[in-house]
Chain A
Amino acid sequence: MIEQSCAQMAPLEEILGRYPREEASLIQVLQDVHRAYNYLPCDVLAKVSQNLGVPLAKVFSVSTFYKAFSLTPQGKIIVRVCTGTACHIRGATQLIDEARRLLEIAPGETTPDMGFTLKTVNCVGACAMAPVLIVGEKVHGNTKPAKVAKALGVEEKHHAH
């Protein structure tokens, strides 16, 4: 059942030590695992299930329910473009286009060097600053397409040919 090569279990041991071994700890453990591994590796989830005594099917159900969790490896930096109503009206589409162009990936994808994952999210609750771009933990409000390259910290590519 495990496709990924055995992920390092060391961070997990430490995470499991932080919480009581009970079902109620599940979400906290998953959040910490996600932070440590940048996604939820399936062999780690199997261990979590065993350790907390929560059936694997339940662990999988919770892991797939929350948008904040990814079951596939993600880039080091997660780039989120808000596509909520306010951001949509104020140009979210152009931000996405610009991010796509710079990173050469579509929303939901990860760059081959595992540097970036591009995502779209619904209203992040900062509509007054629309359109909103979030790079890692940093929120960029009132963004314009021209500012995306700087926010991402990537070189503006001058067309190759």
Chain B
Amino acid sequence: MITLTVNGKTVRAREGSPLLEAVRAAGVEIPTLCQHEALEPWGGCRLCLVDVTRPEWNGWAKMVVSCMYPAEEGLIVETHTERVVETRRVVLDLLLARCPETPLIQRLAREHGIEKTSYLPNPEPTDCILCGLCTRVCDHIGVFAISSVNRGAGREIAPPFHEAPPDCIGCLACAEVCPTSCIPYETSDARRTIWGKAFEMVRCPKCGKAHITKAQADFYAGRNGVPRSYFETCDACKRQEMARTFSKLSAGAVGGMETGKQGNRETGRP
């Protein structure tokens, strides 16, 4: 563990862990849009900017993205210096120009004193902020079904050739992780659709709930070498089954111990 200061407060952190963790540990809130604890930091949205300095830097400080900058011993972190706040405001102003109708962006902008973007608002409003969380979560699962396509102003998230992605397993992870909920999907007991691809559902053999797609069950089974039937049972039923097994086991274990003790007592007695 190392020690650093955040807005004058001393905090301890794991060396090399993202500065953002130390900032949060100090109880300081800064906005983030492209960061997720289950994924590698990416540094895409630039909202988590902070100023860092050290005594030996003679007053010189640099702005870094805290979700990626590694914590070091003795670092002095300031999260709300004038230039940091101003830069964050520019980022939000630009995001608001891109996504003028997106509630999350409107709220963050308003919290930074921006009611209307000072840039030309996007004539074709989108809710996608290009945070890359969806593609990164899909890659993380090991599916790689969607990606960032084109560049510059035309950049967007899309499946290959803008058609139903052949690799997608319909897990909905991308839609769930999306901070602006802009990936549409439909799901029912019979069918699920996302990215224009339709999936058949698997029903839990215990309770009948349609909880995953056939493609998901196939993918997980193929990857882990665990029988497909394990994934067909829904999590709730799996937990129940587990609880039953444990209570049976512990009942057995307790019983066994008692017999053991008794045996000892018996043999132990003169």
Chain A positions within 8 Å of B, measured between CB atoms, are: 1, 42, 45, 55-61, 64-65, 67
Contacts and interface: CB of A to CB of B under 8 A. Distances in A.
Nearest to A42: B161
A60 B167 contact: no
Given A57-B159, A59-B160, A64 B166 contact: no
B109 to A, nearest CB: 29
B151 A58 contact: no
A64 B149 contact: yes
Interface residues on B, range: 10 to 19
A55 B149 contact: no
Most buried by B among A57, A65, A67: A57
17 contacts: A1-B160, A1-B161, A1-B164, A1-B166, A42-B161, A55-B145, A56-B160, A57-B144, A57-B145, A57-B160, A57-B165, A58-B144, A58-B147, A60-B149, A60-B161, A61-B147, A67-B151
Nearest to B168: A57
Interface string B125-156: 00000000001000000001111111100000
B224 to A, nearest CB: 20
B156 to A, nearest CB: 10
Given A1-B161, A42-B161, A57 B167 contact: yes
B56 interface: no
B163 interface: yes
A61 B147 CA distance: 6
Nearest to A62: B147
A42 B144 CA distance: 18
Contacts of B166: 1, 56
A73 to B, nearest CB: 15
A72 to B, nearest CB: 11
A64 B149 CA distance: 6
Interface of B: 135, 144-151, 158-161, 163-167
Nearest to A67: B151
Contacts of A60: 147, 149, 158, 160-161
A153 to B, nearest CB: 32
A16 to B, nearest CB: 19
**Among the interface residues B145, B147, B158, B167, which one has the most CB atoms of the partner chain A within 10 A?**
B147
A64 B160 CA distance: 10
Contacts of B135: 57
B155 to A, nearest CB: 9
A42 B147 CA distance: 16
* Residue among A55, A58, A67 with the highest chain B CB neighbour number at 10 A: A55
Q: Chain A CB within 10 Å — which of B148, B149, B160 has the most?
A: B160
A67 B152 CA distance: 11
A56 B151 CA distance: 18
A55 B148 CA distance: 13
B163 A1 contact: yes
A57 B151 contact: no
Per CB-CB distance, the 4 closest pairs between chain A and chain B, nearest first, are A55-B144, A61-B147, A60-B160, A57-B147
A67 B144 CA distance: 23
A56 B159 CA distance: 9
A61 B161 contact: no
Contacts of A58: 144, 147
A147 to B, nearest CB: 32
Contacts of B145: 55, 57
A60 B159 CA distance: 8
B150 A56 contact: no
A58 to B, nearest CB: 6
A65 B150 contact: yes
A59 B174 CA distance: 20
A4 to B, nearest CB: 11
